[in-house]
Amino acid sequence: MKGVVVFEDGTIFKGQVFGAVENETFGEIVFNTSISGYQEILTDPSYKGQIVTMTYPLIGNYGVNSEDVESNKPQVSGFIIKELSDIPSNFRSESSLDEYLRENDIIGIQDVDTRALTRHIRIRGAMKGMITTETRDIKALIEKVKNSPGLVGRDLVKEVTCKEKTEWNIDGEINLAVLDCGVKYNILRHFEKRGCKITRFPADTGARAILDSDPDGIFLSNGPGDPEGAPYVFETVRELLGKKPIFGICLGQQMLGLALGGKTYKLKFGHRGGNQPVKDVITGRVSITAQNHGFCVDLDSLKDKDIEITHINLNDNTVEGIKSDKLDFFSVQYHPEAAPGPNDAAYLFDEFVDKIKRKKGSPIS
> Does a cis peptide bond (omega within 30 degrees of 0) precede residue 336?
no
Give the burial string for 242-268 (b: 16+ CB within 10 Å, else e).
Answer: eebbbbbbbbbbbbbbbbbebebebee
CA separation for the pair 42, 31 (Å, rounded):
12
CA-angle at 185, arms to 30 and 189, nearest 5°: 135
The residues assigned a catalytic role are 250, 335, 337
Contacts of 299 (CB under 8 A, 6+ apart): 309, 318, 319
The answer to whether residues 34 and 59 touch, using CB atoms and an 8 Å cutoff, is no
Nearest to 27 by CA among 130, 114, 108, 110: 130
Integer Cα distance of 121 and 116 in angstroms: 9
Cβ neighbours for 323, distance < 8 A, ≥ 6 positions apart: 307, 308, 310, 329, 330, 331
Amino acid code (one letter) for 14: K
What is the C-alpha separation between 127 and 121, in angstroms, rounded? 8
C-alpha 29/C-alpha 79 separation (Å) is 9
